[in-house]
């Protein structure tokens, strides 16, 4: 099994490998600003819809565990959609 999580050419593994369980959180959590990390990693920090994509990922994750690994998963999918949409324009 691979330790890599690559979507649309972006390797999300570095962020996922930074997520750990701690005494402060019942679920694994990113040790910093997850939103900033995801937006920067995807190159969407200055994209007009970047923050909106992050918020949608959080809302989707709320339907189940709402843990940081799940937010990364859904954000990676949304970032991929945004990237493919830009290529069509």
> Residue 1's pLDDT band (boundaries 50, 70, 90)?
very low
What is the residue extent of each domain of the chain?
6-88
Give residue-wise pLDDT tens across range 17-66. 999 988 877 889 999 999 999 999 999 999 999 999 999 999 999 999 88
- Distance (Å, whole) CA 63 – CA 24: 22
The C-alpha atoms of residue 32 and residue 34 are separated, in whole angstroms, by: 6
Q: How confident is the model over 21-31, as pLDDT tens digits?
A: 888 778 899 99
Read off the pTM. Answer: 0.87
Structure confidence at residue 87 (pLDDT): 64
How far the first Cα of the chain sits from its last, in Å, is: 37
| 48 phi, psi to nearest 5 deg | -60, -20
Cβ–Cβ < 8 Å for 49, 86: no
Residues 46 and 86 sit within 8 Å (Cβ to Cβ): no
What is the residue whose two structure tokens read 């990237």?
A: 83
């Amino acid at each position: 099994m691979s330790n890599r999580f690559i979507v649309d050419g972006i390797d999300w593994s570095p962020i996922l490998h930074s997520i750990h369980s701690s005494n402060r959180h019942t679920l694994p959590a990113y040790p910093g600003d997850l939103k900033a990390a995801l937006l920067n990693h995807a190159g969407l920090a200055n994209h007009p819809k970047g923050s909106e994509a992050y918020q949608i990922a959080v809302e989707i994750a709320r339907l189940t565990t709402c843990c940081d690994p799940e937010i990364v998963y859904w954000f990676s999918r949304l970032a991929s959609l945004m990237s493919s949409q830009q290529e069509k324009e």
